[in-house]
Structure 1
Amino acid sequence: MSFEASSRSRFNDADYAIFRQFLEKSCGILLGENKNYLIDSRLRKILSDQKISSLADLVRLVERRGNELLRQTVIDAMTTNETLWFRDRHPFEYFSSTLLPELMQSSDVVGRIWCAASSTGQEPYTISMCIDEYRKKNPLVRRDVSILATDISAGVLEQARSGVYDSLAINRGLSQDRLSRYFKALPNNQWEVKPEIRQRVEYRQLNLKDSLASLGRFDVVFCRNVLIYFSTDLQAEILRKIHGVLKPNGHLFLGGSETPKGLSQYFSMRYYTPGVIYQKK
């Protein structure tokens, strides 16, 4: 598969191919055909700052020892961070109405949830809000749940840890009721997630291509809308590793359009209206 450089492209086919191979090797992202414009727009400032005119030269530079920060900056620039509160709604409704009550009845002291691609924090904070709402409706339930939120991008993790969002981000999926209950108003039309929601969430940088052994075991994994960026083989490998960190009968949420190879080998499907969740075999 090769890039076809258009008249608007800054680089030749060979340059695009070299960068595409670097990106897939580094973080698993598989750029499709005709994505030259994406590379051009997202790397323009980096190339200008580094006074580099060739993608091949950029790849050579980031692969040198001591240039880890520049390498991370390039990966951050190429990572898609589309996210919103209660995205698609029904997975979180099912989590709150069905999975969370099951989880709260477990004998483990603390339940564990992993958000595998947390971006700027909307998903893990959404889950934390669901847990808080459940506990307030069920005051006799003593068990709590911790959330591990990971992402490959250091930049989005820094923003997520801050828990501060502007009005544009707040207005994407968050009800006025939850805004008033779970956020503190700040100057300049910004909002901060309250401590009782933030304290459940631990953020950690992680490349899904790497080993997951150090993460521990989880009751539920959210890996939504991230596998679509990877090759078929890498999708299957990540599913195998997620299966390995799930507790017996643990559950996996994927994005609505994600049905990667290898699912049936490791998971059985548990249907709900209008979606599906995957349970560890």
Structure 2
Amino acid sequence: MSKEYLPQFYIMLEQQVGIALDDTKQYLLESRLLPLATQNGHPDVYALIKYLTQNPIGPIHWLAFEALTTNETSFFRDKHVFEALKNKILPDLIASRQKEKTLRIWSSACSAGQEAYSLAMMLREDFGHLNDWTIYIQATDISELILEKAKSGIYSSMEAHRGLDAHYLQKYFTHIEKGAYQIKPAIRQMVNFSHHNLVGNWPFYPKFDLIMLRNVLIYFKQDVKDKVLQKMYQQLNGSDSVLILGAAESIYLNDLYKLVPLDKISFYKPNSPVKA
């Protein structure tokens, strides 16, 4: 069981998807890559890693990278964020966009879609007066597998009950086979899911009024964080647009953003008008 190829694999992983691992996370490699190693005829995880480092990037590499991404999330995750969205952030954005009647939101690193669908349900539930508006919710993730689940809108009973009260579950979900629930078509149709690697080449996106980039930067080194934040800055739609990070994430020594504190959360706005 040779571990000599681990440093090369760490470099490959960071270059391809931005995730920074080291030898303190070997348990993560062993637990998440073992099924892939077994399925592909390798005697152990380290034999798989040797193969990955000695061969050009291909489908098995991306299966390994996806296995090492964290897809832990829930509906309305971090209630203080969604309370701030409902009571302050979205009302302010809506007030300033009355003329265009267009609201664009990006749920980045959306995992299985709970964040994007939570936003869609909130807009339907609490902002019914936007019926004649164009509401665009873009949701992206690096994992093709998790995006397929997100597009289906199907969640186990445990997933559906995490963060959802009975009202939302009854109003916006259909109870299907084996105790699972599926989000109703009207909500699914509000969200556009697509593949996106934050550290790769970015496709063309419109400018967004609200970007959710939560619990992603913690896996990146500072130089990678800075590059992602610079690109995010270019995607913001004017000086009053909003970037929300995870509770444990901050932007340090960055002249592109200004911190806006609220009662229980903080968010960011562009420090100066975003250039077209």
Could you tell me the TM-score, scaled by structure 1's length? 0.89
Counterpart residue number, 2:109: 117
Q: What amino acid sits opposite 1:170 in the alignment? A: A
Alignment of 1:117-156 (within 5 A): 117-136=109-128, 139=129, 142-156=132-146
Quick check: 2:52–2:61 contact (8 Å CA) kept in 1?
A: no
Residue 256 of structure 1 aligns to which amino acid in structure 2? A
- The SS at the match of 1:234 is helix
Please, which of 70, 76, 99 is the counterpart of residue 86 of structure 1? 76
* Alignment partner of 1:183 is 2:173: yes
Q: 1:151 to 1:48 in 2, by over 3 A?
A: same
1:207-228 deviations in whole A, cap 9, x for unaligned? Answer: 0012435112100100000000
- Give the stretch that moved more between structures: 201-210 or 45-54: 45-54
Deviation at 1:41, TM superposition (A): 1.1
Structure 2 counterpart of 1:59, from 53, 57, 61: 53
- Residue in structure 1 matching 2:250, options 226, 246, 259: 259
Residues 71-100 of structure 1 deviation map (CA, whole Å, 9 limit, x = unaligned) = 221111111101011111111111111122
Q: Following TM superposition, by how much is the alpha carbon of 1:45 offset from its aligned partner in structure 2, in angstroms?
A: 1.6
Pick aligned residue for 1:28 from 14, 18, 21:
18
TM-score for both structures, normalised by structure 2: 0.91
Cα drift, residue 170 of structure 1: 1.1
Aligned amino acid, residue 164 of structure 1: I
* Residue 37 (structure 1) aligns with: 27
Please tell me the root mean square deviation across aligned C-alpha atoms, in Å: 1.6
| Deviation sequence 1:33-75 (CA, Å, 0-9, x none) | 41111101111121122223421222323x25xx3x2222111
| Aligned sequence identity (%) | 32
Please state how far the C-alpha of 1:206 moved relative to its aligned partner: 0.4
Residues 101 and 132 of structure 2 are in contact (CA less than 8 Å); yes or no, is this contact kept in structure 1?
no
* Count of residues in correspondence between the two structures: 264
Alpha-carbon shift at residue 168 of structure 1 (Å)? 1.2
1:235–1:261 Cα contact (<8 Å) kept: no
CA distance in 2, matches of 1:80, 1:43: 13
Greater Cα shift, 190-199 or 206-215:
206-215
Shift of 1:146: 1.1
Offset from partner CA, 1:198-251 (integer Å, 9 cap, x none): 111000100001243511210010000000000011001111100001011210
Cα distance in 1 for partners of 2:8, 2:84 equals 43
Q: Relative to structure 1, is the Cα distance of residues 140 and 89 closer, same or farther in structure 2, using a 3 angstrom cutoff?
A: closer
Matching of residue 98 in structure 1 with residue 92 in structure 2: no
Asked if structure 2 preserves the Cα contact closer than 8 Å seen for 1:224 and 1:254, the reply is: yes
The unaligned stretches of length 5 or more in structure 1 are 1-9
Partners of 2:230 and 2:127 in 1: how far apart? Answer: 33
Distance 1:182 1:142 in 2: 20
Q: 1:38 to 1:161 in 2, by over 3 A?
A: same
Q: Which residue does the alignment assign to 1:229?
A: 219
Tell me how far 1:143 sits from its aligned partner: 1.8
Q: Is the 8 A contact 1:163 1:198 kept in 2?
A: yes
Contact 1:16 1:36 in 2 (8 A): no
